[in-house]
Structure 1
Amino acid sequence: MSRVGKKPIPLPKGVKIQIGDRLQVEGPKGKLEVPIPPGVKIRQAEGRLEIVRDSDDFAALHGLTRALANSAVTGVSTGFTREMDITGVGYRADVKGKIATFTLGYSHPVEFLLPDGVDLRVDKQTHLVLTGFDKQLVGQVAANIR
């Protein structure tokens, strides 16, 4: 049995919380919303968030809600990073604004449009660093690029 849901989430300075039918988390990096499923309640007390469930029937949603809320708080305060390397002779990447251009041995360059909330930095020509405040979006963009 997992006990993830019982652990309180500390709120860093600069993070604002609004609790309704959705948990709204706002911080220096951005604003995220987390749905609150039925049977789970969120309380704010003494600079931390506590997630409680009505009964053991909601145990899975309890842990899930806590994990999503923790990711939202971490994302708006510090953000998330994914690093990727391009492997291949002559392969390289370049970024101009919101368009990433990959030269991967095809007869044409491959262009990838970055969504709002995700930034791409190319350290070397083959080392990519994705950053953003939404953990799910950063991971999905990394998977799409891959």
Structure 2
Amino acid sequence: MASPITSSFQTSNLRSAFFGERKGFSVYSAPAANVGFLKKAVECKESRIGKQPIEVPTNVTLKLEGQDIEVKGPLGQLSMTYPREVVVEKDSGFLRVKKAMETRRASQMHGLFRTLTDNMVVGVSKGFEKRLQLIGVGYRATLEGRILVLSLGFSHPVRMDIPDGIQVKVEENTKIVVSGYDKSEIGQFAASIRKWRPPEPYKGKGVKYADEIVRRKEGKAGKKK
């Protein structure tokens, strides 16, 4: 039988700052050892993306060692280390990323690392590309070996070194195609190109992604005569 909760009342006297009289009040206290807390189990749902298997093409080779994975294909080679919350298993031409424990963080990592793994497999076998477009009078792009030269209305042209593992192609002097096998590297380099002259909302001038929709704004209307 649980021990009964004992309580005590203490009386304290305080002098009123306004009336100069003493007022008493009572404080109820209970032993902390007898106070209980209700524990609620955290329900971790399985990730809709994480539970999908990853198909591995025949031209891609995998190497699994503990939490490390190495993917090699005709376009390149990528590697990654998984956190302890997830594990990866190979099953007859498929990869499956599973949770190693039932925690909230494991549920978050499940879908993320399944997507990263799929990007690695697709990247080394098929590759990725990002397209950009230059809009503006005199805006153009050219290639000088492994250097991308941009004319964007500045007093001097912008010269950008192309990282290893990334290919850049210029079409019609105003269209840039960035391709490679590492999706994150492609996105980062494409973003660095766009950063030099982001599209402005009034005339749409600048560097934008080919599938980007720029919301236009109306300019200030002149005074009526």
The two structures have a TM-score, normalised by structure 2, of 0.63
Alignment of 1:17-28 (within 5 A): 17-20=62-65, 21-28=67-74
Aligned length in residues: 146
Query: Among 130, 135, 139, which residue is 2:183 paired with?
Result: 135
**Bigger RCO of structures 1 and 2 (CA < 8 A, at least 6 apart):** 1
Gaps of 5+ in 2: 1-44, 195-225
CA–CA separation in structure 2 for the residues paired with 1:98 and 1:91: 20
Q: Does 1:101 align with 2:149?
A: yes
Aligned to 1:78: 126
Give 3-state SS (helix, strand or coil) of 1:56's partner: coil
| Whole-angstrom CA distance in 2 between matches of 1:64 and 1:87 | 35
Mapping of residues 1-146 of structure 1, within 5 Å: 2-20=47-65, 21-57=67-103, 58-146=106-194
User: Runs of 4+ in structure 1 displaced over 4 angstroms?
Assistant: none
Amino acid at match of 1:129: V
How far apart, in 1, do the equivalents of 2:144 and 2:126 lie? Answer: 25
- How many percent identity over aligned positions? 39
Task: State TM-score, norm by structure 1.
Answer: 0.96
Partners of 1:33 and 1:94 lie apart in 2 by 33
Task: Tell me by how many angstroms 1:35 deviates.
Answer: 1.8
Gaps in structure 1 of 5+ consecutive residues: none
* Separation in structure 2 between the aligned mates of residue 95 and residue 56 of structure 1, nearest angstrom: 51
Structure of greater Rg: 2
Partner letter of residue 121 of structure 1? K
Structure with greater helix share of residues:
1
